[in-house]
Amino acid sequence: MSTQEKTAVTPEAFLTIGSAFCDWFEANGRELPWRQTRDPYAIWVSEVMLQQTRVEAVLGYYSRFMEAFPTVEALAEASLEQVNHLWQGLGYYRRAALLHRGAQYICQVCGGRFPDTARELRQVPGIGAYTAGAVASFAYGEEVPAVDGNVLRVLARIYGIEENVDLPAVRRRIEEIAQHMIPPGRVWSHNQALMELGALVCIPGTPRCAVCPVAEYCTARARGEASSLPVKNEKKKPRVVPRTVYIVTDGKHILLHRRPAEGMLAGLWEFPGWPDEDSPRGLDPDTLPCDILFQREAVQAQHVFTHRVWEMRGVRVQVEGMNWQELDEDYRWIPREELKNFALPSAMRAFAAYVRDAGFGAPEQGEE
């Protein structure tokens, strides 16, 4: 059965709806910095940052990142630590690592020439179907769809698609629909419009149908099903992982640990912790090359990831005589004031704040 038969929409109707999207966006679209350029590198950076992150949160990061790494060559030549430091606080750090790896691929394998088709872009590490479509359509005008979560939701509602949109076959069908909808010569406006509508109007839960520019065409609205679509896999509850985090210090220095190059929060710095399922190479304070004066509870924190929750118990470990030359290469014994120069994940925010406290270096009563 063809796409048109499945959706009971004629080719002409596809283009009518697509044109309505374009008209609405061209009159109402937000002015965002990545919409003011056709530079494929700048667009790529913005698309990676925007994955699973709100526009408002990205704006400051985007401008700082582009100032530090204005070209794909500049990003490729930077160290991953420099990239992570600018990404600090934005979350989902694997995106930064893949962006860095992709820049190196473009410079080393493509000779610095940014791929100019969606098919070529898919060859770059970390670039999937959505990002390839976004960059190819926004930078080069290639008439290809860019289907992310927002677009899946919009089109599932408009065409009344009641199957699970997380199924690959259903996603491919929606991508075919999006392709049919692109008005000739208007792919930039069309793809931007679908994303914008999903972000501002056709939102999760209860959509704002009263201000939707294509409400008259929406099957889900006509059936009273807008709030129940799209159908997706049920999210699993995040698993709770208890962690003990050590703030090892002599009052002037802090011990940091760099996480492995692969896996969760890869390559980022953290306050070391007792070995657990997320940090099997953890720390036993008794093995440190120093004298331990005392250990006491310092601060507690929680951090929610997509699939797990860290319930963290912070322990201050006061030491003296640290022989830092005996530490493993993944550890750093740094002056407290240099903490700001290291890329720490958001999960470590409460412990970093504790370290920055003005009275941190002073021994408490009864501890001298």
Q: Could you give the residue numbers annotated as active site?
A: 47
* Alpha carbon of residue 242 to chain centroid: 24
How far apart CA 53 and CA 42 sit, in angstroms, is 17
Q: At CA 346, angle to CA 344 and CA 352, rounded to 5?
A: 60
Task: Report the C-alpha gap between 144 and 129 in whole angstroms.
Answer: 10
Does residue 125 have a cis peptide bond before it, meaning omega lies within 30 degrees of 0? no
